[in-house]
């Protein structure tokens, strides 16, 4: 399955071959974005398409291969179809000819396992309508909404739009605030943003842009500067920001420059709180001190990028963890939402990046196997703060009191 690249709501279309999944997607999009054929099995790997559904908003629709595919290649397509369920916010199950059997029941079990809401579309109603008996049986077994549809005659799928709005979780399309709950009207937030080899030429990285927008949305003031300007700025202006946010890689420099009276955290940590799993990060981060010789660490990067000689996930974090623990540790790095090459139980610690380019649902499902297996999880920013001795200061803005952070140590 292609890697998650955007935080728009992800909607997956599932069902047997030739049930009209691609035609339904084209109808939702109002254009031909998916291949349509009379031959079963036209769709191979899951295909992601980004567009706006009129009456709802921007989404990413995922067209999947038929769940009843056959043969060796068919089994691989089914595997990718099932893997896509972990990254979606809503599933639409397409059936035809009143057929609801083991394939559909298996998909629904997968939806439930990943806490994915869904509804059912009985497609090709011009060929065969949904019978009362089928509707009663399906509703009794799934407790899901079901609607009839005909991609050939329906001018616009109003009922599908209504069901999408009703069924999709609000959290998938409404962006909660990053730090708005920490700010009051007119507060000043200092953003410390190093410009290094990993910074895109002419641009800022996504977490920095998201933070600036969130500050403005909450009627506060953002001041952006490089790390070497912090001391002079504070000295000359006498400004006392309500909060300072730094790039995790320069935590030590920021900690030295920002007075203790000013709360300090990092872009990665505010994203960790926004995306979920924050309580698990709080519990897992101090486990860094318990690492032993031979332990294997899993580093999860959500995006793909050019790997520099001083890459944070592949070079810096392994170096910092090794130096802090004094142990001989092994590291695996997995990018995007790629499949893990090892059993999660082989790892002593999982280190997740901020996840700025994936959805909350994708990040939660990414870490779910580790959490269920009792493997400690942490976040880039929290791990860096811990090994650099400023962990308590970095998490203090997000817990009830600074002293309560000892509950997690």
The string of pLDDT tens digits covering residues 160-191 is 888 998 998 877 766 678 899 899 999 999 99
- Looking at the structure, tell me whether residues 52 and 133 fall in a common domain: yes
**pTM of the full predicted structure?**
0.68
The string of pLDDT tens digits covering residues 13-30 is 999 998 988 888 888 776
Closest to 269 in 3D by CA, of 241, 245, 297 = 245
Residue 153 predicted with pLDDT over 80: no
Q: Is residue 306 part of a domain?
A: yes
Q: Between 204 and 309, name the one with better pLDDT.
A: 204
The string of pLDDT tens digits covering residues 314-346 is 899 999 999 999 999 999 999 877 778 899 999
Q: Is residue 331 part of a domain?
A: yes
Residue-number span of the structural domain to which 259 is assigned: 180-270
Confidence at residue 276, expressed as pLDDT on a 0 to 100 scale: 73
Half-sphere exposure of 282 (CA within 13 A, CB side): 18
Lowest mean pLDDT among 106-110, 320-324, 396-400: 396-400
SS3 (DSSP) at 44: coil
Residue 100 predicted with pLDDT over 90: yes
- Looking at the structure, tell me whether residues 122 and 34 fall in a common domain: yes
- Looking at the structure, tell me whether residues 237 and 287 fall in a common domain: no
Residue 59's pLDDT band (boundaries 50, 70, 90)?
confident
- Looking at the structure, tell me whether residues 63 and 35 fall in a common domain: yes
Q: Are strands 47-53 and 377-379 parallel, antiparallel or unpaired?
A: unpaired
- Looking at the structure, tell me whether residues 149 and 14 fall in a common domain: yes
Mean pLDDT of all residues in 189-204: 75
Mean pLDDT of all residues in 339-363: 88
Closest to 189 in 3D by CA, of 145, 157, 222 = 222
- Chosen domain end from 106, 140, 172: 172
For the record, the structure tokens of 326 come out as: 């004094």
Residue 41 predicted with pLDDT over 70: no
Residue 119 predicted with pLDDT over 90: yes
Give buried/exposed letters for 315-346 (b at 16+ CB in 10 A, else e). Answer: eebbebbbebbeeebebebbbbbeebeeebee
Residues 6+ apart with CB under 8 A from 388: 251, 252, 255, 320
Residue 301 predicted with pLDDT over 50: yes
Residue 201's pLDDT band (boundaries 50, 70, 90)?
low
Residue 291's pLDDT band (boundaries 50, 70, 90)?
very high
Q: Is residue 343 part of a domain?
A: yes
Residue 70 predicted with pLDDT over 50: yes
- Looking at the structure, tell me whether residues 23 and 112 fall in a common domain: yes
The string of pLDDT tens digits covering residues 238-253 is 999 999 999 988 999 9
The CA-based angle 172-78-14, given to 5 degrees, is 45
Q: Is residue 297 part of a domain?
A: yes
- Looking at the structure, tell me whether residues 206 and 99 fall in a common domain: no
Confidence at residue 401, expressed as pLDDT on a 0 to 100 scale: 38
Task: Kindly state the DSSP code that residue 262 receives in the 8-state scheme.
Answer: S
Range list of β-strands (E), 169-237: 188-192, 221-225
Q: Between 157 and 76, name the one with better pLDDT.
A: 76
Name the domain count of the chain: 3
Confidence at residue 184, expressed as pLDDT on a 0 to 100 scale: 93
**DSSP code per residue over 335-402:** ETTPPPSS-GGG-SEEEE---TTS-HHHHHHHHHHHHHTT--EEEHHHHHHHHTT-HHHHHGGGSS-G
Mean pLDDT of all residues in 104-118: 93
- Phi, psi torsion values for 173, nearest 5 degrees: -125, -10
């Amino acid at each position: 399955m292609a890697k998650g690249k955007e935080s728009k709501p992800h909607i997956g279309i599932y069902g047997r071959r030739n049930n009209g999944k691609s035609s339904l997607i084209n109808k939702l999009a109002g254009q031909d974005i998916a291949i349509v054929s009379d031959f079963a099995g036209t769709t191979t790997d899951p295909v992601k398409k980004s567009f706006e559904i009129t009456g709802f908003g921007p989404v990413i629709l995922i067209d999947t291969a038929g769940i009843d595919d056959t043969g060796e290649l068919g089994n691989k397509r089914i595997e990718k179809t099932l893997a896509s369920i972990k990254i979606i916010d809503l599933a639409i199950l397409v059936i035809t000819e009143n057929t609801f059997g083991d394939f559909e029941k298996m998909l629904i079990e997968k939806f439930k396992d990943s806490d994915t809401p869904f509804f059912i579309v009985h497609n090709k109603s011009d060929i065969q309508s949904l019978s009362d008996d089928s509707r009663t049986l399906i509703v009794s077994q799934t407790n899901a909404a079901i609607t009839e549809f005909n991609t050939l005659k329906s001018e616009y799928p109003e009922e599908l739009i209504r069901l999408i709005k009703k069924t999709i979780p609000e959290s998938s399309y409404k962006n909660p605030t990053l730090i708005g709950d920490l700010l009051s009207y007119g507060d000043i937030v200092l953003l410390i943003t190093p410009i290094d080899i990993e910074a895109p030429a002419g641009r800022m990285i996504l977490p920095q842009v998201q933070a600036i927008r969130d500050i403005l949305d909450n009627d506060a003031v953002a001041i952006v500067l490089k790390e070497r300007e912090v001391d002079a700025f504070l000295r000359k202006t006498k400004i006392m920001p309500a909060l300072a946010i730094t790039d995790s890689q320069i935590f030590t420099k920021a900690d030295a420059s920002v007075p203790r009276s000013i709360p300090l955290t990092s872009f990665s940590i505010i994203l960790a709180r926004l995306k979920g799993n924050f309580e698990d990060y709080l519990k897992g981060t101090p486990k860094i001190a318990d690492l032993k010789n031979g332990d294997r660490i899993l580093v999860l990067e959500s995006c793909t990028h050019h790997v520099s000689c001083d890459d944070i996930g592949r070079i810096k974090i392994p170096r910092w963890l090794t130096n802090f623990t004094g142990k001989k540790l092994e590291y695996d790095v997995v990018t995007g939402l790629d499949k893990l090459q090892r059993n999660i139980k082989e790892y002593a610690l999982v280190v997740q990046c901020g996840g700025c380019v994936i959805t909350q649902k994708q990040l939660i499902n990414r870490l779910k196997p580790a959490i269920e297996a009792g493997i400690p999880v942490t976040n880039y920013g929290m791990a860096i703060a811990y090994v650099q001795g400023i962990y308590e200061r970095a998490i203090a803005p997000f817990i009830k009191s600074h002293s309560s952070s000892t509950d997690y140590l």
